[in-house]
């Protein structure tokens, strides 16, 4: 079951593509978080999804949000993907134990060994303010995510 709106977001610490530890708690009281769960680096739909987030990053920053990507790929795969795609926001490696953080949010697909596609907006209080699961083959609508973010108090 996916996590429900209003619930506290599960705390986590994961390494990004630059080997930096990123903690969800680091953003508490400071910024909203747009947490992008996606299956795999370099897959066609994921590449399109991240191209959209890269293009719209300024819009999310204006809405006082930190964008974070998360998949089961390693930090090394994330580094290569970020360099190829021009991604400046952290890509978090939910690599070992595989999918542990995604599982806490209810989006790890154990039968496939990948993270499902979903977007969670976590407010400054650390609660799930908006959450949507997407089909693996669907790129999330950036306007929908931005509108949901704009409504977060």
Alpha helices in the chain (DSSP H): 44-62, 75-85, 100-104, 142-150
Which are the catalytic amino acids?
Answer: 46
The whole-angstrom separation of Cα 76 and Cα 58 is: 26
| Angle at which helices 142-150 and 44-62 cross, to 10° | 30
Give the number of other CB atoms < 10 A from CB of residue 153. Answer: 7
């Amino acid at each position: 079951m996916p996590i429900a709106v209003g619930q506290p977001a599960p705390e986590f610490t994961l390494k990004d593509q630059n080997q930096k530890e990123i903690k969800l708690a680091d953003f508490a009281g400071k910024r909203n978080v747009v947490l992008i769960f996606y299956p795999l680096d370099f897959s066609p739909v994921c590449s399109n999804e991240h191209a959209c987030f890269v293009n719209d990053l300024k819009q999310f920053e204006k809405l006082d949000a930190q964008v974070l990507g998360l998949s089961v790929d390693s930090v090394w795969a994330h580094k290569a993907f970020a360099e190829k795609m021009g991604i400046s926001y952290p890509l978090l490696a939910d690599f070992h134990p595989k999918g542990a953080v995604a599982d806490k949010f209810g989006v790890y697909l154990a039968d496939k060994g990948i993270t499902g596609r979903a977007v969670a907006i976590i407010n400054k209080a650390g609660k799930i303010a908006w959450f949507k699961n997407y089909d693996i083959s669907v790129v999330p609508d950036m306007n929908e995510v931005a509108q949901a973010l704009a409504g977060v108090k």
